[in-house]
Chains A and B, each alone.
Chain A
Amino acid sequence: MRHTSTTFSPHCRRSTNSILQRGRLASIAASLLCLAVISPPSLAAENGDDDPLSFINRPIHGFNRIADRFALRPLAWVYRQVTPKPLRNSVGNFFGNLKQPVAAANHILQGDAEAAGKTVLRFVTNTTLGLAGLMDVASEFGIEDQPTDLGLTLAAWGVDSGPYLVLPLLGPSTVRDAPAWLTQRAADPARDLEIAEGDGDLALTSLQVVNGRAGAYEIINEVLYNSADSYAAVKVSYLQRRRRQAGQIELPDLFEDEEFWEDEQWDEEEGEETGGTESTRSQE
């Protein structure tokens, strides 16, 4: 039996099938999460840059890239052409708003009461004044988004990111983030709001994915199709972003090889460029 309910109430029923599926997913996710948490330190890369799973990651990345090139990117391109920017923003706002309760819970788990409070306030404001989250009224009131997730909560608890992992169709992740994402998705109360089921649920998920791809159209194209090594570019970009989201901001150390920088060659080569930095400088 196919449900096509479009009600938007937290008290709606769930189909038994759906509950069983989610329960199964949650248990798988929990197992994976346990695996990630109890992984010995040797499995977890020291700084997240090691890539012991590259032998499997690279083929999956290749598959994802093909899927993007021939399916997601064209869809996102068409979507951008046929939908005005305000509509795309509203769709993004709506899905973003649904994530706020889980974000608030994660802020609490991270011990950040202020961020949790702001997130709850943001959710209430956008759900009421912002027409069920379609409009981001909260930002206009200065209540900025405080995005977080279970992966970042684990990071706050000191769980290492572990090796880099590429998931089929879902893209870049890590041994810590992938099970955390699955767990969070299974436990997300927003899924209990029966906006749609069956084909409707699939359509909403597809809309969310296409809208997300369209929103980051240029930057994803840049990393996937214009880099010297797209696998490395996606990996480094993803790990950098996650570290930054986890508050681990690190500046690349330009002086890491101090002895070398200070050797005599430095002065000889300084300014000797492939097209004339020196000449440009001397014109100043």
Chain B
Amino acid sequence: MTPMRRLAACCWAISLALLLAFAPTRSFASTEEAAEFVKSAWQEFLQLAPQLTGDADADSALLSPYLQDRAYLDRIARFAVGRSWREMTPDQRSRFKGAVLDLMSRLFARRLVDITTPRYELVRTVDAARQGFIVVTRLWSEENDPIEVEWRVIPNKQGDLKVVDFTVEGISMLVNYRGEISALLEQNDGDIDAVIEHIESQSGR
């Protein structure tokens, strides 16, 4: 091998190494990190759980900051409303995200109020490529049978993992929101303000 060829090969090897080292993969996170994120999110929730009183307004107010931190509200809201997001004004978007956050807080408060046992089991973690990770867990409550919850997590633009969906008994929260919002838009001839008002009135805002 001539010195020139050796130099070229060396340059290629260094370039390849650098490329691999700094390649911007989707996997800012691994399946292990996704599972660890869900576990820590669950543990954080368990610290809040004893403060839940069963009063919808109070519990929702308590859970709202937690969900703002752990959930990927931008994506959830955008997916729920679909392409109508394009036509929405910044004010409408902000109100809509607030309404979705409220819906989620109340859903959590109602569904998780009796889950206070720390028993938690990681069933499996699935890497769904660019669609994020699916972390399947089993959670226990005092009264009911254990439930299997699938957490879908995805990194945001900053690379922080966030929850975008929960699936319980085969029912995805995200798909349900999308279906409900779509039906409401259809009933209201695409009037997003009417939809937001409907959701706000539903959650008693």
A-side residues, CB < 8 A to B, are 49, 85, 218-219, 222, 226-229, 231-233, 235-237, 240-241, 244-245, 251-255, 257, 260, 266-267, 269-271, 273-277, 280-281
Contact with A along B97-137 (1 / 0, CB 8 A): 11001010011001100000000000000001011101000
Q: For the complex, what is the distance from the CA of A66 to the CA of B26, rounded to whole Å?
A: 48
- Of B14-22, B45-53, B156-164, the stretch lying at the interface with chain A is B156-164
Given contacts A274-B97, A275-B64, contact A232 B73 (CB under 8 A): no
- In the complex, besides A226-B107, A253-B131, 5 extra interface pairs with C-beta distance below 8 angstroms are A228-B181, A229-B183, A232-B182, A241-B169, A241-B171
**Which B residues are CB-close (under 8 A) to A229?**
180, 183-184, 187
What CA separation (Å) do A226 and B131 show in the bound complex?
A: 29
A228–B180 CB distance below 8 A: yes
Q: Which residues of A contact B171 (CB under 8 A)?
A: 219, 237, 240-241
Q: How far is the CA of A253 from the CA of B111 in the complex (A)?
A: 26
Q: Is B179 an interface residue (CB 8 A)?
A: yes
A236 touches B180 (CB 8 A): yes
User: Shortest beta-carbon distance, B159 to chain A, in Å?
Assistant: 12
Q: Are A252 and B110 in contact (CB under 8 A)?
A: no
- Residue pair B184, A252 in contact (C-beta under 8 Å): no
Given the complex of chains A and B, what is the CA–CA distance between A78 and B73 in angstroms?
39
16 intermolecular pairs with C-beta atoms under 8 Å apart: A218-B111, A219-B169, A222-B107, A227-B176, A227-B180, A228-B199, A229-B183, A232-B179, A236-B180, A237-B171, A237-B176, A240-B171, A255-B131, A269-B74, A274-B98, A280-B65
In the assembled complex, the CB of B131 is this many whole angstroms from the nearest CB of chain A, namely 5
- Scan residues 47-97 of chain B and give those whose CB is less than 8 A from a CB of chain A: 64-65, 68-69, 73-75, 79, 82-83, 85-86, 93-95, 97
A120 CB, nearest partner CB in chain B, Å: 25
Are A236 and B176 also in contact (CB < 8 A) when A253-B131, A273-B73, A277-B73 are? Answer: yes
Q: Is the CB of A275 within 8 A of B68?
A: yes
A231 and B176 CA atoms in complex are apart in Å by 11
Tell me what chain B mostly uses at the interface: helix, strand, loop, or mixed: helix
B98 nearest in chain A by CB position:
A274
Q: How many residues of B contact A (CB 8 A)?
A: 57
Task: Determine how close the nearest CB of chain A comes to the CB of B141; give it in whole angstroms.
Answer: 10
**B85 and A260 contacting across the interface, CB-CB below 8 Å:** yes
Q: Are B156 and A270 in contact (CB under 8 A)?
A: yes
Judge whether A251 and B68 touch: CB under 8 Å: no
Contact indicator B169/A273 (Cβ below 8 Å): no
- A255 with B180: CB separation less than 8 A: no
Report whether B79 and A233 are in contact in the complex, using a CB–CB cutoff of 8 Å: no
Nearest to B100 among chain A residues (CB) is A274
A251 contacts B74, CB within 8 Å?
no
Q: How far is the CA of A27 from the CA of B160 in the complex (A)?
A: 59
A252 and B165 in contact (CB under 8 A), knowing A241-B171, A270-B157? yes
* Beta-carbon contact of B69 and A260 below 8 Å: no
Known contacts A85-B143, A245-B170, A274-B97: does B202 contact A228 (CB below 8 Å)? yes
Q: Which residues of A contact B128 (CB under 8 A)?
A: 251
From A228, A229, A251, A276, name the one whose CB has the most chain B CB atoms within 10 angstroms.
A228
Please tell me if the beta carbons of A252 and B169 are within 8 angstroms of each other in the complex.
no
What residues of chain B lie closer than 8 Å to A226, measured between beta carbons? 106-107, 110
Q: Name the residue on B nearest A253 (C-beta).
A: B131
Task: Indicate whether B138 reaches chain A with its CB closer than 8 angstroms.
Answer: no
Say how far B167's CB is from chain A's closest CB, in angstroms: 9
Select A270's contact among B74, B111, B152, B198, beta carbons within 8 Å. B74
> How far apart sit A267 and B157, CA to CA, in the bound complex (Å)?
8
Residue B149 interfacial (CB < 8 Å): no
